[in-house]
Chain A
Amino acid sequence: MSEPNAKHMNGLNRVVHEPARLAILKILSAAEEADFTFLLTVLGLTKGNLATHVNSLEAAGYIDISKEFVGKMPHTTYRITKLGRCEFEKHWKHLMRFAP
């Protein structure tokens, strides 16, 4: 018997299932690309919390992070990957059917 994937439990993707990460993926799937300031303002998370969640999503391969400097200011942009979009849509459909 194959070992169950740690990301999945009861058919749910645990990385995507967390509400903050679900909201981040929802925004990125609607806009394709957004920067840190936009996500922070739209979601209402703290900087630290947002950074932790986007790092988890990047580690799972669901988003790409690109960092650059605009003048002397660092500018971080997030883009949803194909895998991220696929996993998010699958999970979203599942939630819409079974959420309380």
Chain B
Amino acid sequence: MSADSSVSQGELQRLERLGRLVNRYAQSRSLSLLIVLAILLINFALLLQMDKLIAWRIDRFLTDDEIQPSEVALRLGLETRWVIAIVLLQVVFSIGSLWLAFKLAKRYGMSFYRADGAIELPRGRTPPIAWIVFFSVHIVPAALTEAEYLSNRWGLALILSVAGAFFIYLRNKERAVPPCLVLGGLLLLEAVAVASGIPTPFCGRSWDYSFAAAYVILFASAGAVTAVVVHIYNRWIWRRIGQERPFDE
């Protein structure tokens, strides 16, 4: 394409292809979104397990001024003050990691591709009610597993299905089709694998943090595979953009 003449039909089609590629590239660069969501979910799993350390019976909570150590805490030989200290530490860790995740995503989210320049799509079109529904539905399998109505296996299969379906729903709302589709698909695959009884780390164990540990491991491994796949896809798209470059000055 020359910069000083009018455009032909072929050149318009080439520009059209370039525009489509740039849009796809912008969508596949949204890995920062994944980092924030992964940290949110890991914190969610961690907070769910805090009740193991404190007595979670409402009647006791309402009648006693002091938080009573749970059986787990007593078995570990923890005094009440240590239980409170550990819970506070977990809360501080959660708030701190969330703050750090958002700060990092805002400042360095695209630093991986800084040499390519910055490009941004308007995101955040997911309605708040969708997030509320997601976390509410997310909590059901976790709570059922906690209450021992569900085994770790079925609890994990359900929670992974909910997370996978939500990521697939997010793909157009957040204009991040490749990462959301890959992560959502992998989480659904993991859900099927867990449900069909394929051995999963910590899934069959009965110790108190096994559900959260299995969930975090499965989620983090799906996230890692997604990051690699999307990065390879990014580089491929970037090469195609280079081939469609309209000027060569």
Binding site for B on A (CB under 8 A): 17-20, 22-23, 26-27, 29-46, 49, 75, 77, 92, 95-96, 99-100
Contact = CB atoms under 8 A, between A and B. Distances in A.
B21 to A, nearest CB: 8
Interface string B73-99: 000000000000000000000000000
Contacts of A20: 3, 247
Contacts of A41: 116-117
Contacts of A45: 3, 247, 249
Interface stretch (B9-17, B39-47, B176-184, B206-214): B9-17
A61 B241 CA distance: 27
Given A26-B15, A99-B12, A43 B20 contact: no
A38 B247 contact: no
Interface stretch (B119-127, B187-195, B228-236): B119-127
B26 A31 contact: yes
A42 B18 contact: yes
A17 B23 CA distance: 22
Given A19-B246, A92-B12, 18 more contacts: A19-B2, A19-B5, A19-B7, A20-B247, A22-B7, A27-B22, A30-B20, A32-B121, A32-B122, A34-B117, A34-B119, A39-B117, A41-B116, A42-B117, A44-B246, A45-B249, A96-B9, A99-B6
Contacts of B120: 31-34
Contacts of A18: 3
22 contacts: A19-B11, A23-B247, A26-B15, A26-B16, A26-B18, A26-B19, A27-B18, A30-B20, A30-B26, A32-B121, A33-B119, A33-B121, A34-B118, A34-B120, A38-B116, A41-B117, A42-B22, A44-B247, A44-B249, A45-B247, A95-B12, A96-B12
A92 B19 CA distance: 12
Nearest to B29: A31
Interface in B147-191: none
A100 B12 CA distance: 10
A27 B20 CA distance: 9
Contacts, number: 99
Measured as residues with beta carbon below 8 angstroms from the partner, the interface class of chain B is 20 to 34
A39 B119 CA distance: 9
Contacts of B5: 19
Contacts of B23: 30-31
B248 interface: yes
Interface string B186-229: 00000000000000000000000000000000000000000000
